[in-house]
Amino acid sequence: MGNAVHRNRFRRVLREFFRLNPALFAQGVDWVVIAKEGAGALASGQIRDEVRAALQRRPKGSVRPPSAGDAPTS
């Protein structure tokens, strides 16, 4: 992925994408993004395009709304 500068920039771009596109993400669902080698060298627009493409490739119904049994216990 690269050094800390690349990792932090990648995280900032992802957070901004999530913030600007809330309709693409079900509430109450945690997302895990695993960046592949070279992802840190992508331009911001390329990162957004890759995330958008990955979301379009996910199977329909692959994200279900959380049920009451899914609530974390503290």
Q: Is residue 19 part of a domain?
A: yes
Give the integer Cα–Cα distance in Å for 74 and 69.
14
* 51 sits in which H/E element: helix 44-57
Predicted pLDDT of residue 37: 85
Residue 17 and residue 3: Cα distance in Å, rounded?
22
Q: Is 74 domain-assigned?
A: no
Position 58 scores a pLDDT of 74
- The pLDDT score that the predictor gives to residue 71 is 54
Evaluate whether residue 72 is within a structural domain.
no
Q: What is the pLDDT along the chain (74 residues), one digit of tens a residue?
A: 668 888 889 999 999 998 998 888 877 878 888 888 888 888 999 999 988 888 888 766 666 555 555 555 55
Q: Label residue 42 exposed, middle or buried (CB < 10 Å: 0-12, 13-18, 19+).
A: middle
Domain count, the chain: 1
Domain that holds residue 16: 4-62
Residue 6, burial from CB neighbour count under 10 angstroms (0-12, 13-18, 19+): middle
